[in-house]
């Protein structure tokens, strides 16, 4: 009986020497790590910090803005204010140069300031070391209104365009202090006006006489007194018979009884 032949054996794989060494080193390191290595500690959960109890939040009310009332007017650019918080301030209004005392346009300017500011409620819109800007109750800027109406000149240290435009417009229109007699000069009294010569009214000539006006009665010569004469004519016939007619006043034998028309000639016919 024949036996079955055994299958041929496979040839064994032979690793290179260098690969065998590398694998051996990794195997040794793995064994050492497994034996001596310690697992990393698992981090413990950290408890969240407990917040302290919150204190109640207090909200402070915003203080109301201070309003002011004009308490005293020194001049159109200097006033005293009383605040709603009880404060008291003497302030100069920015941008204004005004007439004071007896200078030209001072009385008109003082009247303007009194009408606008006396006892008025105002608001300070600008507050500097040089002065303040005031707004009237209707929102009008006081300095701008004063310059526009010609009651002030623009101060030299002002750089505000709105104030400069207001002053220039008043000057070009010859408004207020820019007109006669001040002509913009408010640092001196008003010039004395030159007296004008008073012209005498000529006396009209007498009106010519019209035909309706009655002529004065003629002046009659007073009859010459009759000179005494011894010649006597009873009538004109006797005088004619004597050849002495006509008889003129003053002739011998002339008498008014013979001169019927009284013209000084008797018995002319």
The least confident of 35-49, 122-136, 242-256 is: 35-49
State pLDDT tens for residues 40-61. Answer: 555 565 555 666 666 666 566 6
pLDDT at 45: 58
Please name the residue ranges forming H helices in the chain: 17-36, 106-117, 142-148, 161-172, 236-242
Rama region for 57: left / alpha / beta (φ>0; ψ in -120 to 50; rest): beta
Q: Is the pLDDT reported for residue 134 higher than 80?
A: yes
More confident residue, 5 or 30: 30
The DSSP 8-state label assigned to residue 235 in this structure reads S
Q: Is the pLDDT reported for residue 10 higher than 60?
A: no
Report how far apart, in Å, the C-alpha atoms of 59 and of each of 10, 56, 62, 153 are.
Answer: 94, 10, 9, 48
Angle 69-71-73 from CA coordinates, rounded to 5°? 115
State pLDDT tens for residues 217-246. Answer: 665 655 555 545 578 877 888 878 877 788
Mean pLDDT of 130-157: 95
pLDDT at 259: 78
Give the separation between CA 125 and CA 93, rounded to whole angstroms.
11
Give the separation between CA 144 and CA 121, rounded to whole angstroms.
17
Dihedral of CA atoms 82, 85, 86, 87 in degrees, nearest 10, equals -60
Mean pLDDT of 122-129: 95
Q: Is the pLDDT reported for residue 81 higher than 90?
A: yes
pLDDT at 21: 73
Dihedral of CA atoms 206, 207, 212, 214 in degrees, nearest 10, equals 10
The least confident of 109-113, 126-130, 238-242 is: 238-242
**In the chain, beta strands by DSSP E:** 68-75, 78-83, 88-92, 96-97, 121-127, 132-135, 153-154, 247-248, 265-266
Q: Is the pLDDT reported for residue 174 higher than 60?
A: yes
Give the separation between CA 146 and CA 39, rounded to whole angstroms.
92
CB atoms within 10 A of CB 149: 17
Of the chain, the percentage scoring pLDDT greater than 90 comes to: 43
Domains and CATH numbers, the chain: 68-178 (2.40.50.90), 236-266 (no CATH)
Sign of CA dihedral 256, 257, 259, 260: positive
Predicted model pTM: 0.51
């Amino acid at each position: 009986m024949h036996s079955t032949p055994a299958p041929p054996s496979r040839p064994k794989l032979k690793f290179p020497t260098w690969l065998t060494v590398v694998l051996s080193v990794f195997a040794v390191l793995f064994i050492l790590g497994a034996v001596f290595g310690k697992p990393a500690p698992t981090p413990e959960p950290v408890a969240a910090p407990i917040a302290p109890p919150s204190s109640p939040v207090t909200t402070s009310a915003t203080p109301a803005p201070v309003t002011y009332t004009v308490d005293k007017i020194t001049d159109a650019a200097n006033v005293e204010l009383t605040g709603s918080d009880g404060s008291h301030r003497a302030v100069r209004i920015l941008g204004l140069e005004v007439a004071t005392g007896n200078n030209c346009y001072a009385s008109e300017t003082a009247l303007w300031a009194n009408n606008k500011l006396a006892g008025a409620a105002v608001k300070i819109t600008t507050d500097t070391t040089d002065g303040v800007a005031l707004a009237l109750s209707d929102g009008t800027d006081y300095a701008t209104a004063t310059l526009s109406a010609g009651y002030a000149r623009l101060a030299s240290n002002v750089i505000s365009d709105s104030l400069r435009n207001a002053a220039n417009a008043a000057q070009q229109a010859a408004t207020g202090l820019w007109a006669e007699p001040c002509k913009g000069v408010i640092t001196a009294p008003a010039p004395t006006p030159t007296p004008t010569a008073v012209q005498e009214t000529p006396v009209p000539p007498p009106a010519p006489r019209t035909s309706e006006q009655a002529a004065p009665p003629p002046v009659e010569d007073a009859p010459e007194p009759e000179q005494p004469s011894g010649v006597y004519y009873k009538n004109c016939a006797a005088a004619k018979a004597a050849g002495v007619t006509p008889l003129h006043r003053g002739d011998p034998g002339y008498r008014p009884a013979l001169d019927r028309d009284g013209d000084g000639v008797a018995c002319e016919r």
